[in-house]
Structure 1
Amino acid sequence: MKEVRFFYAPEATITEELPQDEATHAIRVLRLQSGDEIFFMDGKGAFHRAEITLVTNKKCMYRIVETMQQEPTWRGHIHLAIAPTKMMDRVEWMVEKATEIGFDEISFLNCRFSERTKIRTDRIEKIVVSAVKQSHKAWKPIVNEMLDFKNFICQPREGRKFICHCYEEVSKEDFFSLISSVSQEESLHESDDITVLVGPEGDFSIDEVRMALDNGYESVTLGKSRLRTETAGLQAVSMSNLARRI
């Protein structure tokens, strides 16, 4: 059986030309020629089947043969906001796996105990695109620039908002129990959106936790085990996806 080749083309129906990075891979690595069939996702909910019409040293042109609009596999908008770890490879691994599982948006937080205050979102974007293609996702998660914790939590957001932390003096409820307790029928009357915050290796400060609670966030735990930041982020995405699965 001939291998299906997937590419990412966000302006698929407008340009009829693969983006430069994708064209380079198609031409120099896969050595595709005119007449070959390719598939690509636009990151906005559709797969496209196309035929290559022209290949040059730098360009790969195509003609769309069929557009296949996809149905979402989870309800609502899953947004993970996380403080990146000092070792970026751990964050990149988490982003890749979270994309494969399925979520909608990621933001990076600069917190009081953060070990990293800058992040290359262009590199994260490339990792997300690669994971979208590998896992055949029709939607590409949004990648946001880093924000200070206070600025993030003060922004209005739809749906339920949660902050994960380890402080014993602040009461917490089980995250998965809270988000899975609403049935699909009941959710028709309220937003299915989820925003969940995960702190740095040293956790959020107690003041940050209280600030989040004052801004409508719910205090939660991801389980009895003490998790690394990237593990907690992946756990939060996995639970959210499972609870909102269609």
Structure 2
Amino acid sequence: MQHFFVTPSQVEGDRIVIEGSDVNHMKNVLRMGCGEKLMVSDGNNLKYLCGVEEYEGGKALLRILEEMESDTELSSRIYLFQGLPKQDKMELIVQKAVELGAYQVIPVSTRRSVVKLDEKKAAKKVERWQEIARSAAKQAGRGYIPEVGKVVSYPEALSWAKGLDVLLIPYELKEGMKETKEIIASVMPGQSVGIFIGPEGGFERKEVDLALEYGAKAVTLGRRILRTETAGLAMLSVLMFHLEE
């Protein structure tokens, strides 16, 4: 079943009004006719089973058939602080992180980040990543479109994250899988979790030490060295499995 997002203001009584590019996608790409059913999320943890009523003046008018709470969100908000990778790897990371339940993705410029973005380029990249997050949220049936934050420096990211309940930093020199399993098992439903992932080349030791000063816990992802586009997704997968209700 097709899935679309609206804002709460587009829900009017027993009807929902779809506007913008989604109308063209519904009408001309998907060729959805009157009476055809679809799912709509309001981004505020509510979803609606709807039927297409009519197309009028560039808008699609839907009738609400059933209202329900979204059951696709994790009990914890997981924030992925991703060191800027090379090429288009960030697009894959954002897409898969949204599918795995991340609440927000924050691009981070670290010491070993090869990619350097000025303010204008960074804003354009974030806009592109946000559109990918929106598409991934649709595909995954999320009740919420995760935000892709602006690009921040590593110290800024740590300062922002210090208010979270749990901070985790996978580090290739960390040993002790038993300790890592205990740390993951200690994460409770409802707690906010920050995951720090380095770029190609990983974190410098000084960066790891700084994260530990902010209360982060270093964990291992096993004996194999994972690429930056794999490490965060591996961590998200473990947490999703642990927290899924």
What's the TM-score, normalizing by structure 1? Answer: 0.85
SS in 1 for 2:32: coil
Residue 11 of structure 2 aligns with an amino acid whose one-letter code is T
Q: Give the corresponding residue for 2:167.
A: 161
State the 1:16 CA deviation: 2.8
Give ranges in structure 1 of 5+ residues lacking alignment: none
Check the 8 A contact 2:43/2:145 in 1, yes or no.
yes
8 Å Cα contact 1:82-1:197 kept in structure 2: yes
Separation in 2, partners of 1:192, 1:36: 39
What is the distance in 2 between the residues matched to 1:81 and 1:173?
23
1:107 to 1:173, Cα distance in 2 relative to 1, 3 A: farther
TM-score for both structures, normalised by structure 2: 0.85
Contact 2:73 2:142 in 1 (8 A): no
SS at match of 2:226: coil
Q: Distance in 2 between matches of 1:21 and 1:40?
A: 15
State the partner residue of 1:212.
Answer: 211
Q: Is 1:55 equivalent to 2:60 in the alignment?
A: no
- Between the two proteins, what is the percent identity of the paired residues? 24
Matching residue of 1:131: 136
Find the counterpart in structure 1 of residue 6 from structure 2: 9
For structure 2, the 5+ residue unaligned runs are none
Alignment partner of 1:177 out of 171, 174, 181 = 181
Contact 1:81-1:107 within 8 A present in 2 as well? yes
Mapped contact 2:108–2:151 kept (Cα < 8 A): yes
Contact 2:171 2:218 in 1 (8 A): yes
The Cα RMSD (Å) is 2.3
Deviation at 1:147, TM superposition (A): 0.6
- C-alpha contact (below 8 Å) 1:159/1:193 kept by paired residues: yes
Distance 1:13 1:206, change over 3 A: same
> In the superposition, relative to structure 1, how do residues 19 and 159 fare at CA in structure 2: closer, same or farther (>3 Å)?
farther
Aligned residues: 234
Distance, in Å, in 1 between the alignment partners of 2:166 and 2:26 is: 42
- Could you say what secondary structure the match of 1:106 adopts? strand
Match of 1:64?
64
SS of the aligned residue for 1:17 comes to strand
Secondary structure of the corresponding residue to residue 152 of structure 2: strand
When structure 1 is superposed on structure 2, of 33-42 and 218-227 the one drifting more is 33-42
Of 67-76 and 103-112, the range deviating more from structure 2: 67-76
- Alpha-carbon deviation of 1:72? 5.1
Distance change (3 Å), C-alpha of 1:30 and 1:68: same
Q: Could you say if the C-alpha distance between residues 19 and 225 of structure 1 is closer, same or farther in structure 2, counting changes exceeding 3 Å?
A: farther
Shift of the 148–26 alpha-carbon distance from structure 1 to 2, 3 Å rule, reads: same
In the alignment, what sits opposite 2:115? Answer: 116
- Correspondence for 1:242: 241
Distance 2:46 2:33 in 1: 24
1:202-243: CA deviation from partner (whole Å, max 9, x where unpaired):
211222111111111111221111111000111111111112
- Residue 164 of structure 1 contacts residue 221 of structure 1 at CA under 8 Å; is this kept in 2? yes
Q: Could you list the per-position Cα deviations for residues 124-144 of structure 1 after superposition, in whole angstroms to 9, with x for gaps in the alignment?
A: 112122122212222322221
Are the aligned partners of 1:86 and 1:115 in contact in 2 as well (CA < 8 Å)?
Answer: yes
SS in 2 for 1:62: strand
